[in-house]
Amino acid sequence: MRIGLFGGSINDGTLDDVVAEARQAEADGFASYWAPNIFGHDALTALAIVGREVPRIELGTSVVPTYPRHPSAIAQQCLTVSAACEGRLTLGIGLSHKVVIENMLGMSYDKPVRHIRDYLSILGPLSRNEPVSYRGEDYSTNLALTAKGAPPFGIVVAALGPQMLKATAELADGTLTWCTGPNTLADFTVPTINAAAEAAGRPAPRVIAALPVCVTTDTEAAKGRAAKVFEIYGSLPSYRAMLDREGAAGAEDIAITGSADEVINRIGALADIGVTDFAAVEFPGNPDEAAATREAIKQAMA
């Protein structure tokens, strides 16, 4: 199982902070660095800069919302980023949430599975530097992109429900989950996407699980902090469904907390259930916890 770091500087810091965070992740031996795309810096633009400064680590988005961006436009942007980072880009995309797409952006969130199928049917060929001719209900495109020196890029989808996992298995390279606990991953996510990929005659997909992590001597305090830091996710329907499936009140109940040994063992156990990649979301309460958390994750990579 490959272990990566989920960055936070893209929302809370400057572009220099993003580069420094990714550089440290590479120096610490992480396999990947994942940048969210929320309401801070644009993740793909930032990763193009990181790609020129940090030479080896995989760079991924977690995740870019699809609705505001036409698949041909994001393909063009990603090919440019892929050229900047010499093929180390993995594009993570997702539907976002109805409250964002409809209430904030004034767009329709209707038929999300149809939307993602149309989207991937166009984005997939373009990601491989192939021309596309596709007519769907939400998107129709007939074009080719010529970005010289741009290697193909991988695509993973924030797929949580069964129909989204099926579409992802058929049309993308894997899924990237959040607020999805180990029991749900083992009993639902991994078998669902693997079975759909096998039925479609496609390779086994990546399953990238992102979870909060903190090494601490005060587990109750860490859980309380997680409840506050990640509170918003429990109110978003797609994440709420995953937490309910897990029997979790909130992210605090699926956060990986405890001693260094406990954290290392719980991360390692994810590989046993079929998770191919782990993306650590560190949430320390003080500098000592920050250092201990990073050291434990580094040991889990050994």
In terms of residue numbers, what domain contains 291? 163-302
Q: Is residue 283 located within the same domain as residue 167?
A: yes
Q: Is residue 146 located within the same domain as residue 173?
A: no
CATH code (residue 205): 3.20.20.30
Distance separating alpha carbons of residues 292 and 298, to the nearest angstrom = 10
Is the Cβ–Cβ distance between 176 and 92 less than 8 Å? Answer: yes
Distance separating alpha carbons of residues 132 and 139, to the nearest angstrom = 12
pLDDT, tens only, 48-103: 999 999 999 999 999 999 999 999 999 999 999 999 999 999 999 999 888 888 88
**Is 47 domain-assigned?**
no
* Distances from the Cα of 6 to the Cα of 10, 129, 170, 210, angstroms: 10, 28, 26, 8
Which DSSP string corresponds to 214-281? EE-S-HHHHHHHHHHHTGGGGGSHHHHHHHHHHT-SSGGGT-EEESHHHHHHHHHHHHHTT--EEEEE
pLDDT, tens only, 235-260: 999 999 999 999 999 999 999 999 99
**Is 223 domain-assigned?**
yes
Is the Cβ–Cβ distance between 81 and 55 less than 8 Å? Answer: no
**Is 1 domain-assigned?**
no
pLDDT, tens only, 26-39: 999 999 999 999 99
Q: Which residue has the higher pLDDT, 115 or 108?
A: 115
pLDDT, tens only, 161-176: 999 999 999 999 999 9
**Is 241 domain-assigned?**
yes
Q: Is residue 70 located within the same domain as residue 147?
A: yes
Q: Which domain-ending residue is among 126, 158, 190?
A: 158
**Is 37 domain-assigned?**
no
pLDDT, tens only, 261-287: 999 999 999 999 999 999 999 999 999
User: What radius of gyration do the chain's Cα atoms show?
Assistant: 19
CB atoms within 10 A of CB 140: 12
What would you measure as the largest C-alpha separation in the chain, in angstroms? 57
> Cα dihedral angle (220, 273, 232, 71), rounded to 10 degrees?
160
Which of 295, 289, 300 has the alpha carbon at shortest distance from 257? 289
Give the count of domains, the chain. Answer: 2
196: Cα within 13 Å, side-chain hemisphere: 24
**Is 32 domain-assigned?**
no
In percent, the amount of the chain with pLDDT more than 70 equals 100
Q: Is residue 201 located within the same domain as residue 277?
A: yes
Q: Is residue 85 located within the same domain as residue 152?
A: yes
**Is 237 domain-assigned?**
yes
> Cα dihedral angle (93, 95, 99, 100), rounded to 10 degrees?
40
Q: Is residue 230 located within the same domain as residue 283?
A: yes
Distance separating alpha carbons of residues 67 and 138, to the nearest angstrom = 10
Q: Which domain-ending residue is among 131, 158, 185?
A: 158
